[in-house]
Structure 1
Amino acid sequence: MISEQSRADAQLLWDYHQMHHEPRPCSVAIGLGSHDLGVADTTVDLYKRGMMPLIAFTGATSPTTQERMPRGEAVHYRERALELGVQSSAVLVESHARNTGQNISFSKAVLEDAGAKVSSMLLVSKPYEERRAYATACKLWPGVDLVSASTVMTIDDYVAAIGSPQLVVDMLVGALQRLLVYPKLGFTVGQEIPDPVEVAYWRLWQAGFTSRLLEVK
């Protein structure tokens, strides 16, 4: 059971991790691979709404996706998109990336090889990874107009989908830690973190929501 304070703190982090961008037409959408097929579904929805003519799905496998997506996250995403009616010619696959930085840089190379001219990008991720994906793309692909997107849902809906409140809060805390640490390592641009969000983060850390934290020296 999560306390009322922890629930309120988790809500603060959930809201902060999302960029709250309004989707608008872009050159391409990049769907970031993960365990969550909802990323593929949301990317397809944006495509059908005429938000972009081309999709690039990116991602290899990880310990959490090896069993569910043995052919690779991007490959399974592409298969999902085709099932939902997207033309094969509109979907590119980058199947080697194993982290967000590689998602961006490897996708950039695939799009360049395909001759795609990219001036703007819809960056589709899990809800709690919007901001980190955005900060990573700003670092690795400067000059491109970035629009963040994810499945529109509440934190309660996401907890219901994952099935573990503890794990969801752990992921929110881990994602916030990366926003604090990664700019110093050169992985992302910095993001302004409001004081109430940072206080909530430390309170959740102290409450034991730590399974997704990095070991930082």
Structure 2
Amino acid sequence: MSDARSSLSSDVQRDVETLWDFHVSDSGRTKADFLIVLGSHDTRVADRAAELYLEEEAAPVIVVTGGAGKVTSKEWSKPEAEIYAERLRRAGVPQAAILTEPKASNTGENFEFSRVLLEEHGVPSGSAIIVSKPYMAQRATATARKRWPAVDWRTRPPRTTVWEYPTDEVPLTRMINLMVGDLQRLRVYAEKGFQAPVEVPEAVWSAYERLAAAGFDQFVLD
């Protein structure tokens, strides 16, 4: 991955680091009523949830949520939640601790459909830990606070740095494009009432604008 990074100018690298540092949020070691694991193209999110369940006993229940997203709809033949659930089981998480929600097509639905599922199973929902891609943590929390405000939300994404994160399966260019798109959505979706407002510092917004102008605009909304 160092070769891919070296293809970026130093200015672009700084802007990428600025967006990453803003997006990533980790509440630290904590316990909650349940883990909510947001499906995506990155199966390391499921691995992180397994680690939190098995090693930290962070929550007694894991709900995995996700159907087909803008990346996985083209690459996977199964819903994200089903693939994540399989990975959890292989890691040693008992089936009895896993609830699977395979229909959500966006972040709002991740929380809305999971709320219904948890209510149907009588799972307490006073507190929860969001497990998502690292750079999704900020927007996921903002969405959760808007769509399910009664819950005390924390977040525990996979532990990695911006330059360690990309892999052959999660390419650097895709990561940058997704981070740029998520930054824009923090503002646009708050204005539409889809998520709670998040204050974006001017330096972060400027980094977003430079990256979008440099061509990292694949997931920027029209």
What is the TM-score with the length of structure 2 in the denominator? 0.92
1:210 paired residue number: 217
Cα distance in 1 for partners of 2:169, 2:87 equals: 20
Amino acid at match of 1:76: I
Q: Is the 8 A contact 1:2 1:166 kept in 2?
A: no
Structure-2 change in CA distance of 1:205 and 1:74 (3 Å): same
**Pair 1:79–1:164, CA change in 2 (3 A):** closer
Q: Is the 8 A contact 2:53 2:60 kept in 1?
A: yes
Paired residue for 1:156? Answer: 163
C-alpha distance in structure 2 between counterparts of 1:162 and 1:13, whole Å: 21
Query: In 2, distance between residues paired with 1:69 and 1:208?
Result: 26
**Unaligned runs of at least 5 residues, structure 1:** none
Compute the displacement of 1:161 (Å).
4.8
Which residue matches 2:189?
182
Fraction of identical pairs, as percent: 38
Map of 1:106 onto structure 2: 113
Unpaired stretches in structure 2, ≥5 consecutive residues = 1-6
- Does the 8 Å CA contact 1:23/1:147 hold for their aligned counterparts? no
- How far has the Cα of 1:21 moved from its partner? 1.6
Flag the 1:67–1:182 CA change in 2: closer, same or farther, 3 A: closer
Q: Which residue number corresponds to residue 35 of structure 1?
A: 41
Match of 2:52 among 46, 54, 57: 46
Counterpart in 1 of 2:17?
11
* 8 Å contact from structure 2 (residues 25, 157) kept in 1: no
2:79 touches 2:102 (CA, 8 Å); kept in 1? Answer: yes
**TM-score (structure 1 length as normaliser):** 0.94
Q: Please identify, of 141-150 and 62-71, the stretch whose mean Cα deviation from structure 2 is larger.
A: 62-71
Q: Deviations over 1:42-77 (max 9, x none)?
A: 001000111000000001123532465322111111
